[in-house]
Structure 1
Amino acid sequence: MQQLLHPLCLALAVGGFLLLLCPPRHLRRDPALAALAGVYGFSAVSFLVSMEPVWRLLDELTGRPSTGILAAFCSVVALLALQPVVLAHWALPPDRARKHTRVSLAAGALVVLALTVLFFQLDPAGRTTPQGFTANYIHTGAYQAYLALYAVVYLIGETVLAVGCWKAARRTDQVWIARGLRVVAAGAVLTFGYSAVRLAGVGAALFDLTPPPPAAESFAWLCADGGTTLALTGFFVPTLAVHAVPQARAWRRARRDHRILTPLWDALHQAVPTIALQPARPAALPLVRNTGWHLYRRGVEIRDAQWALRHRLEESVRHTSEQRHRAAGLGGEELVAAVTADQLRAALTVHRRDGTPRTPTEYADADSRESLRTPDDDLRALLRIAAHFPTAPAEQEAVRS
């Protein structure tokens, strides 16, 4: 059962870990996301080292039989310590969340140290398999202490997770986050079966009672792996709702805005090539990475070109454009954007002819730019200009040379 379920759980844990790493910079800004990535990462390690080929490889590398059991148990303890960290940063104020983090990580480190000390008290009895390790060592005192400590810590950790997720699910008003947290809680409760079987085995060995039947071993791994699968799946629902979906929407919005600004940027770049910080991207090459940065650069470069063409502006273009757009019913920010688009189109025409305006003027949006307090404000203003730019008259309002 163990070798059947572990590859499936390993694939889920690795997939979740890799998805949480995209992009890595978000982990530095979000402690909950970083802790959740650690949960998936340590979960993947625990499954990986418990697979028989890797188990044997560790034996050869370390020169000590069954080192995989130590790596697996310590990885599980690490993820048990990180799970409350995720919930704390999701549900508590930052100061309390940091306090819970320190306590949880310190407790996890102490348990890992105790498990390591107990493991090296075991008398190496030759090579074993992940499935046969417990049966080979269950009658030794050191392993009874080792397994009992792990099972109790595992039970406590999963109880804390189940209670924390259930409380958090009741507090949130977002349906899908509540459902995901309840799935995590259900997975945590399911793992109780693993701890029960392991503690029953230790009790039977201590008091010379009848050991659990062979089917109990399969039941234990079904509870452990099944519960972990539910927990990893459930954790991903809040992650998608809180992090992945907003990031995907922001990425898609940045690509859309970048595409809307492209005709305006292309026309300005042809006239003033020096605005580009980097060589222009081929039109056929999709914008996939660093969309926010490319969008920000595009806005800055449009403003740089606008400044470079300021001496090509003609008063008559602005006056005529304002009359025409007012007659069409435009006003406020839309009127300013439409007139600015007409001025840019006319300035490009003058620039190509190398003409000199008879009556210089300012851009229609010159005054309103003072009220743009953030890059997002400026981006929205540029998008309004770009929306009017493709339909702006090209030649008829240009300065007559």
Structure 2
Amino acid sequence: MNSLINYLSCGALWLGLAVKAPDLLRHRHDPYLRAICAVLGLAGLCFLLGAPPTVGAVNRLSGVPNLAAPLTYVAITGYCAASQVLVVHWRGGPRVHRTARRWTLAYAVVVVGIAAAFALGEAPVERRTDLDTYYATTPFIAQMIVLYLVAHLTAVTVTTVSALRWAREVRGGLRAGLLLLGAGSLCGAGYSATKLVAVSARWSGHDWSALGTTVSPAAAGLGALLVVVGVLVPLAAPRLAERRRAARAYARLEPLERALDGLLVRRSLRLPRPRLASPATLLMWRRTSIHNAFGHLDAYCDRDLYDRTRADALAATGDAELAGATAWAAVLTDALRHEAAPGAASAPAAATGRPPLPSPDPAALARIADVLSGAVRVPAAPALPSGRATAGTT
């Protein structure tokens, strides 16, 4: 089960790395992106190296019993350093680079300490899952274990506090991402804390190795999942918000397209509907169909009717945008009647000599759709001007 947790956690983290990799290639000099990718990559490496099958393979191929342990600890230490550098760049300030270098140097010293302690100690018996507690009283090996656990606990604690503190100052996807990252780092603290408890129990003669072999991997696995989601949420949130906006705008225009449907079908003005398209593509398709219909109705739009209806609606509501939408709805209804009337060969608006009405912009289209759907309360449209007969009148 531990191996499955390790490999699934590694896969989740490296999936997040794969999502971020294109951004890193485009902006390879961005220290913030480099830190994010280092956190995801090194965290995944920690889980990969810590899986019992990987431990056995590394020890067997190297010929050194338990060599996988210091390699895993070095990967964990590198992850700690990357986490601190990420936090530093999040905080910002005039001394970002200097502080990042200090954290990097501090954890480089930890790496040297891990390597030296392993070289000086003796660990002849291979332990794939409980090395921490098995060698907790062995000179130098015990110091190596405590060194990496304290370094890890320090890093995840600082990351947790920083992420949760910053989350109180922001909103939206970034806040959600910070909360998830803080929760994931807190789970990571649970990993090193339970390991330290098990090691401390070993010093006092108790065997609490189950903490290190069951609770710690579960905490680390959950933490990895939360961390990768926390990193990806701020990236995905703007895209999801844009999709929601496009979907709402698409649905909002439906009453206007429905009013124009007869004309669109009769004159073959509607393009084929795209299949498996994004909301943004569907919105563009619907707007294109509507603009095609408006272009065909230009000659049938009565400018005088527009001006009078807009003036009446503006006097009644005091809202210029609503008045314009109300006027367009009246003109559009009138134009559709005349265009569809039998024998409507002439273009009534063309005889007035006035310039045609300019096509409404996307925001105006949405307001016209609201008027046509009855979603907004508008004053009654005025009577048609004298001299214009609607379809069906004589």
Normalised-by-shorter TM-score class: 0.5 to 0.7
Matches within 5 A, 1:70-89: 72-88=72-88
Q: 1:326 to 1:149 in 2, by over 3 A?
A: closer
- RMSD of aligned alpha carbons: 5.8
Mapped partners of 1:308, 1:23: distance in 2:
47
Partner of 1:164: 162
Question: What letter matches 1:151 in structure 2?
Answer: L
Partner of 1:336: 324
Question: What letter matches 2:347 in structure 1?
Answer: T
Mapped partners of 1:19, 1:146: distance in 2:
30
Say which of 370, 378, 384 aligns to 1:387: 370
Q: TM-score, normalised by structure 1?
A: 0.60
For residues 51-73 of structure 1, the C-alpha deviation after alignment (integer angstroms, 9 at most, x for no partner) is 22344455678887766545533
What secondary structure sits across from 1:254 in the alignment? helix
For residues 202-233 of structure 1, the C-alpha deviation after alignment (integer angstroms, 9 at most, x for no partner) is xxxxxxxx856462433345664465467557
1:46 lines up with 2:43 in the alignment = no
Q: 1:166 to 1:339 in 2, by over 3 A?
A: closer
For residues 164-220 of structure 1, the C-alpha deviation after alignment (integer angstroms, 9 at most, x for no partner) is 35654777799989976875675465445356368769xxxxxxxx85646243334
Q: Give yes or no for contact 2:13–2:43 (8 Å, CA) kept in 1.
A: no
Matches within 5 A, 1:358-369: 358-359=351-352, 361=354
Question: What letter matches 1:131 in structure 2?
Answer: T
Matches within 5 A, 1:131-146: 131=129, 133=131, 135=134, 146=144
For residues 73-110 of structure 1, the C-alpha deviation after alignment (integer angstroms, 9 at most, x for no partner) is 344234323433554455445x6666655655x44883
Say which of 347, 353, 377 aligns to 1:356: 347
Q: Give yes or no for contact 1:55–1:68 (8 Å, CA) kept in 2.
A: yes
Partner of 2:377: none
Alpha-carbon offset, residue 255 of structure 1: 1.2
Question: What letter matches 2:365 in structure 1?
Answer: L
Residue ranges of structure 1 left out of the alignment (5+ in a row)? 202-209, 370-377
1:281 lines up with 2:274 in the alignment = yes
Q: Give yes or no for contact 1:77–1:108 (8 Å, CA) kept in 2.
A: no
Q: Give yes or no for contact 1:78–1:108 (8 Å, CA) kept in 2.
A: no
Matches within 5 A, 1:13-92: 39=39, 42-56=42-56, 68-69=68-69, 72-88=72-88, 90-92=90-92
Alpha-carbon offset, residue 265 of structure 1: 5.4
Mapped partners of 1:75, 1:400: distance in 2:
80
Q: Give yes or no for contact 2:12–2:224 (8 Å, CA) kept in 1.
A: no
Q: Give yes or no for contact 2:16–2:232 (8 Å, CA) kept in 1.
A: no
Partner of 2:108: 110
For residues 239-295 of structure 1, the C-alpha deviation after alignment (integer angstroms, 9 at most, x for no partner) is 79967667655433321212222454574866897896xx5324xx5x6xx545654
Matches within 5 A, 1:224-373: 224-225=216-217, 228=220, 231=223, 248-262=240-254, 264=256, 267=260, 280-282=273-275, 290-292=278-280, 295=283, 306=294, 310=298, 313-319=301-307, 321-322=309-310, 325=313, 331-344=319-332, 355-357=346-348, 358-359=351-352, 361=354
| Structure number with larger C-alpha Rg | 2
Partner of 1:154: 152
Mapped partners of 2:319, 2:194: distance in 1:
69
What secondary structure sits across from 1:193 in the alignment? helix
Q: TM-score, normalised by structure 2?
A: 0.61
Question: What letter matches 1:315 in structure 2?
Answer: R
Q: 1:400 to 1:246 in 2, by over 3 A?
A: same
Question: What letter matches 1:156 in structure 2?
Answer: T
Alpha-carbon offset, residue 118 of structure 1: 5.7
Paired residue total: 368
Mapped partners of 1:100, 1:111: distance in 2:
16
Q: Give yes or no for contact 2:70–2:118 (8 Å, CA) kept in 1.
A: no
After the TM superposition, which of the residue ranges 308-317 and 149-158 deviates more from structure 2?
308-317
Question: What letter matches 2:326 in structure 1?
Answer: A
Mapped partners of 1:20, 1:113: distance in 2:
24
Percent identity at matched positions? 20
Q: Give yes or no for contact 1:315–1:361 (8 Å, CA) kept in 2.
A: yes
Alpha-carbon offset, residue 336 of structure 1: 0.8
Q: 1:305 to 1:144 in 2, by over 3 A?
A: farther
Residue ranges of structure 2 left out of the alignment (5+ in a row)? 375-379
For residues 113-137 of structure 1, the C-alpha deviation after alignment (integer angstroms, 9 at most, x for no partner) is 7489669969999994522555479
